């Protein structure tokens, strides 16, 4: 079968690989559609080099169960269910866990062996393309729940890529007033469409100064979804005293906390717990991912899909790959 295989930086190729071995309680899932994530691009660009060569990449996708024909979205975390973290509902941090597409083979393959507990049914109203973009919805739900904003709170979202735009949508559902920051106007226009009250182009104005002018005290909650050390380092100056900051795009960077008294900072990257709710919100049309899909390619043209996702001139948000 065909699969997208990591062979090193700038070297992810569609290759012929053996069919997966289906063991124990696993079932075979036939790939339908998946999306390229910023994480995949970190590996493609050689920014993260710890992935094993020969690994099949991809961790956000849907498919069809070979045993019963059910359309399903796949959760990439393999967890034991019994360790310290699993027992506390934190299976993301399972001590015996694996992350498919990173530390074990992932989803960009014609067939995938999955445990049924990692599969959630996709309702008829949700297209394959929408079900290919569930991971960032689940992440946005997890992050906004963790931030626990009050109605009317200021939520500043740095970076309006696919993840940032979903944070904007969920923050609005939570009753927040959203300030969206990005360097690119086409992304800020979408942020406005999704309900951001203020859009700041950080290439044109001082984002920290502007946020402090708007909020007067600093933002109640802040999400870093741009993925750069520079934006991580801005967060203590954006948040109000005793506010909360989620670092979602990047975790490295020096935090100068002198004015951020009692503010809470945390990182988070994926949450399997929110997948069913994410799919439900897509079915109810309460969260939109269709507007985030900018490009479509077949699995056979995966390399072109990656190059497009990595090329700012193409104005990519979500690049979807189909069977």
Rounded Cα–Cα distance for residues 101 and 34 (Å): 12
Distances in Å between the Cα of 211 and the Cα atoms of 19, 36, 189, 217, 289 are 52, 31, 18, 9, 27
What x-and-dash track marks residues 25-44 binding Zn ion by CB under 5 A?
Answer: ------------x-x-----
**Nearer Cβ to Zn ion (31/154):** 31
Site string for Zn ion, 65-84 (x = CB under 5 A): --------------xx--x-
d(CA 149, CA 244) in angstroms, rounded, equals: 9
Q: Is residue 122 a contact residue for Zn ion (CB under 5 A)?
A: no
Contact status, residue 319 vs residue 40, Cβ threshold 8 Å: no
Nearer to Zn ion by Cβ, of 82 and 209: the residue is 82
What binding mask, one character per residue, do residues 282-321 give for Zn ion by CB under 5 A, x or -? ----------------------------------------
Query: Least distance in Å: CB of 16 to Zn ion?
Result: 26
Under a CB-based contact definition with an 8 Å cutoff, are residues 201 and 183 in contact?
yes
Question: Interaction with Zn ion in 44-63: which residues (CB under 5 A)?
Answer: none
- Beta pairing, strands 264-267 & 239-247: parallel
Cβ at position 247, least distance to Zn ion in Å = 15
CB of 79 to Zn ion, least distance (A): 5
Candidate residues 27, 57, 86, 309; the one interacting with Zn ion per rule CB under 5 A? 86
Cα–Cα distance for residue pair 175/150, rounded to 1 Å = 7
Total residues in contact with Zn ion, by rule CB under 5 A: 7
28, exposed or middle or buried, with CB in 10 Å at 0-12, 13-18, 19+?
Answer: middle
Of 26, 30, 7, 4, the C-alpha closest to 15 is 4
321 forms beta bridges with 34, 297
- Considering the complex, what minimum distance in angstroms separates the CB of residue 259 from Zn ion? 32
CB 283 → Zn ion: shortest distance, Å? 21
Tokens of 61: 């996708």
| Nearer CB in complex with Zn ion: 80/242 | 80
* Strands, E assignment, 7-153: 12-16, 27-35, 55-56, 61-65, 71-74, 77-78, 98-99, 111-114, 119-121
Distance (Å, rounded) from C-alpha 90 to C-alpha 79? 10
Cβ closest to Zn ion, residue 139 vs residue 200:
139
Closest distance of CB 33 from Zn ion, Å:
15
The residue among 58 and 243 lying less far from Zn ion, judged by its C-beta, is 58
Query: Between residues 108 and 198, which has the closer beta carbon with respect to Zn ion?
Result: 108
Binding Zn ion (rule: CB under 5 A), the pick from 94, 100, 109, 188 is: 94
- Residues lying near Zn ion in the complex (CB under 5 A) are found at 37, 39, 79-80, 83, 86, 94
């Amino acid at each position: 079968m065909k699969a997208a295989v990591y062979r090193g930086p700038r070297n992810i190729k569609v290759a012929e690989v053996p069919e997966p071995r289906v063991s124990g309680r696993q079932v075979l899932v036939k790939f339908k559609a998946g999306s390229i994530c910023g994480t995949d691009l970190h590996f493609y660009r050689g920014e993260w080099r710890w992935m094993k060569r020969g690994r099949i990449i991809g961790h956000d996708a849907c498919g069809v169960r070979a045993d019963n024909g059910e359309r399903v979205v796949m959760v990439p975390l393999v967890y034991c269910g019994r360790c310290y973290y699993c027992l506390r509902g934190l299976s993301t941090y399972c001590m015996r866990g694996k992350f498919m597409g990173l530390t074990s083979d992932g989803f960009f393959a014609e067939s995938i062996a999955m445990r049924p507990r990692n599969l959630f049914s996709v309702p008829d109203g949700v297209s394959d393309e929408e079900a290919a973009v569930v991971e960032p919805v689940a992440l946005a739900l997890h992050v906004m729940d963790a931030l626990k904003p009050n109605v009317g709170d200021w939520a500043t979202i740095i970076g309006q890529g696919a993840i940032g735009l979903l944070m904007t949508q969920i923050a609005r559902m939570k009753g927040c007033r959203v300030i969206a920051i990005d360097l690119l106007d086409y992304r800020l226009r979408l942020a406005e469409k999704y309900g951001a009250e203020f859009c700041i182009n950080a290439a044109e104005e001082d984002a920290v100064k502007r946020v402090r002018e708007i909020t007067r005290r600093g933002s109640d909650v802040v999400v870093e979804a741009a993925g750069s050390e520079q934006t991580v380092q801005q967060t203590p100056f954006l948040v109000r005293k005793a506010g909360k900051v989620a670092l979602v795009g990047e975790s490295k960077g020096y935090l100068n906390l002198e004015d951020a008294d009692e503010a809470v900072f945390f990182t988070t990257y994926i949450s399997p717990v929110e997948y069913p709710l994410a799919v439900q919100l897509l079915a109810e049309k309460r969260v939109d991912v269709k507007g985030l899909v900018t490009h479509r390619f077949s699995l056979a043209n995966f390399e072109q899909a990656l190059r497009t996702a990595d090329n700012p001139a193409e104005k990519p948000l979500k690049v979807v790959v189909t069977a």
